[in-house]
Amino acid sequence: MLLAPAIAAICAALMLFAAAPLRAEPATGARQSEFERMLKDYLAAHPEAIQEALDTLAARKAAAKAEQQKATIKANQGELFSSPRQVTLGDRAGDVTLVEFFDYNCGYCKRALADLLELMNSDPKLKVVLKEYPILGPDSVEAARVAVAVRMQDAGARYLAFHRKLLENRGHNDKARALAAAEEAGFDMTRLERDMASEEVTQSLDESIRLGKELAINGTPGYVVGERVVIGARGEQVLRESVAAARK
């Protein structure tokens, strides 16, 4: 551990610096020079201490961010876990809830779909919440509007069929592709077109986007599991471990 001696050296320099009378400007300047020399000499001899200090700072920032996210989750539990404007799959009375924020044009979301499906199949007590989070441009927003209108007709198995058609599509998803997927899944297209223009769709997207931003979810997929936020397609095992930790 190199930070301890580094801090000791810096403290020693600071003590010398503090000992100078405030009105004695030349002496204060000399102590300042001595402090700078000691610090420079130590860092020249132990340059790895710089990286260690940076790592410590990064860890503190991450811990502070996690605490802020924890507080945000607590303050928004209703909208996060039980909003009427969400899709709920799995066990609605499950002992752990996993919330996924996704974008239909996110390659990582497409890759992570199999992880989520496998987790749902192997964990019958898990409640899964899906929230559209279209952050990759206008086409993503249009596909999300179709998805919300789909949810307004069916928020269960038929929605999941539609959801899979889009995320399993290796190409680009836009309004036209989303409408085609909805038609393939057997939805009422006349009603769907009408619902897409409704205030309910706008409010649903506004809600999920606001929650994502407040949780500092700056990429997709983003998950909320218990009191923890997990960013990225980290694999089924990481999701499983996060669920297990929330269960404890």
d(CA 32, CA 206): 54
In tens, the pLDDT along 80-104 reads 999 999 999 999 999 999 999 999 9
Name which residue leads in pLDDT, 117 or 42.
117
Q: Quote the percentage of the chain above a pLDDT of 90.
A: 70
Residue that has been written with the tokens 């009375």 in this structure: 93
Tens of pLDDT, residues 190-223: 999 999 999 999 999 999 999 999 999 999 999 9
Of residues 41 and 222, more confidence is placed in 222
Q: Determine contact, residues 230/242, Cβ cutoff 8 Å.
A: yes
Residues 243, 108 contacting (CB under 8 angstroms): no
CB 98 within 8 A of CB 69: no
pTM of the model: 0.77
* The predicted structure's pLDDT at residue 229: 95
Cα(226)–Cα(126) distance, integer angstroms: 11
Q: Which sign, positive or negative, has the C-alpha torsion 149, 153, 154, 158?
A: negative
Q: Residue 140 above 60 pLDDT?
A: yes
Residue type, 187: F
CB 79 within 8 A of CB 207: yes
